[in-house]
Amino acid sequence: MNESKSREKIVIRQNVENEDLSFVDGELLEIPIDEKPTAKKYTEISTEIETPKTKNENQKQKSYLQYVFLPLIFLTVALLGGLRISQTNEAFVFLKPPLVCLIFATIMLVLFFRSNLIKLDGWFSESFSTLKNVANAAILISLFAASTQTFNALLPERGLPFWTFAFCFFWTLWNNLFAEFDTKRLLQSLGGLFGLAFVVKYLILAGLTAPASESWIQGIFENPTQEAFTWLLDLPKFAPATGYIQFFTLGFYLIGLFLLKPEISEK
């Protein structure tokens, strides 16, 4: 660069209104050495004065996410996980989770700890205030409730499919307990497990379920195969809306897991 013909000048503007001297905004202008800067040469890079997110503001946002939104997401999963819509009168059906769902959720939490998705000493510590420990416990309780209800959503309600699914879940989770894991692999494994269970329950089994008909005989004549499968597998008749609700429930749960932090650092 020829220094005799041009010079670099940094035009500095200060945020006078906010009196925030820690942040300046400006742009580089290249003008001949004998020319005065004019308005034409002045090119605006950014029309808005950026307000920097200070460390405190970032911390506040993280706290809102961690202590307010995350439990709300998990509790929404807990609310929707047991909700079904009846096929006959489109009424809400609230199904309480069977005991096996609580066992699976407990194993899941152990897996979360083992794979360092949650570090126990990063969540609970003597050095933390009691309030912080309680708030962290509230998040974990909501996570447990959400895990329970996720299994409740994915397990068929009764009969042979219930026990088949329960066995598959148990087998997978039990094997995972003794496998070498990291967070990414665990989430991939859970994503695969839940995705497969969702497809089998809400697409395949729901497709085999006979639609509501006026009488048993009419049902046999109109949909003999579906009636046979419904009877053999003891499939409950729920409205298609149930599948949509459970799809979003599963989505919320995975979003919640994604937002979960291994440890909650001290401010």
Partner 1 sequence: MKEKQIQVLGIFLTAFYAIFIAWLYLVEPKSLEELPTKAQTTIENVTTKTQVAIGTYEVDQAKFSEGLKQFRAENFIVARDNFERADTEKRDAKTQFYIAYSFYRQGFGKISNDDALFKQGLEQTNRVISLDKNFKSDDANLQLKTPVELKNELEEGLKVTASDFNPLKILRERK
Q: Is 249 in the site for partner 1 (CB under 8 A)?
A: no
Task: Specify the residue, 70 or 100, whose C-beta has the smaller distance to partner 1.
Answer: 70
Task: Specify the residue, 94 or 178, whose C-beta has the smaller distance to partner 1.
Answer: 94
> Which own/partner pairs from 86-93 qualify as long-range (CB within 8 Å, at least 24 positions apart)?
86/237, 86/238, 86/239, 87/211, 87/212, 87/237, 87/238, 87/239, 88/212, 88/237, 90/239, 90/241, 93/238
- Count CB atoms within 10 A of the CB of residue 10: 9
Task: Specify the residue, 82 or 98, whose C-beta has the smaller distance to partner 1.
Answer: 82
State phi, psi for 218 to the nearest 5 degrees. -60, -40
Q: Is 102 in the site for partner 1 (CB under 8 A)?
A: no
Q: Is 59 in the site for partner 1 (CB under 8 A)?
A: yes
Task: Specify the residue, 135 or 187, whose C-beta has the smaller distance to partner 1.
Answer: 135
Looking at the DSSP bridge assignments, the partners of residue 24 are 14
Q: Is 255 in the site for partner 1 (CB under 8 A)?
A: no
SS3 assignment for 216-254: HHHHHHHCHHHHHHHHHHCCCCECCHHHHHHHHHHHHHH
Contact flags string 132-161 toward partner 1, x per CB under 8 A: x-xx--xx-xx--x----------------
Count the alpha carbons within 13 Å of 145 in the hemisphere toward its beta carbon. 19
DSSP 3-state of 144:
helix
Q: Is 220 in the site for partner 1 (CB under 8 A)?
A: no
Task: Specify the residue, 65 or 199, whose C-beta has the smaller distance to partner 1.
Answer: 65
Q: Is 36 in the site for partner 1 (CB under 8 A)?
A: no
Residues 63-92 that bind partner 1 (CB under 8 A): 63-64, 66-68, 71-72, 75, 78-79, 82, 89, 91-92
Binding residues for partner 1, how many (CB under 8 A)? Answer: 30
Q: Of 209, 203, 206, 193, give the one whose Cα is nearest residue 250.
A: 193
Task: Specify the residue, 153 or 186, whose C-beta has the smaller distance to partner 1.
Answer: 153
Report the amino acid identity of residue 240.
P
Q: What are the tokens at 165?
A: 């699914």
Q: Are 156 and 162 in contact (CB under 8 A)?
A: yes
Q: Shortest Cβ distance from residue 80 to partner 1 (Å)? A: 10
Site residues, partner 1 (CB under 8 A): 59-60, 63-64, 66-68, 71-72, 75, 78-79, 82, 89, 91-94, 96, 129, 131-132, 134-135, 138-139, 141-142, 145, 267
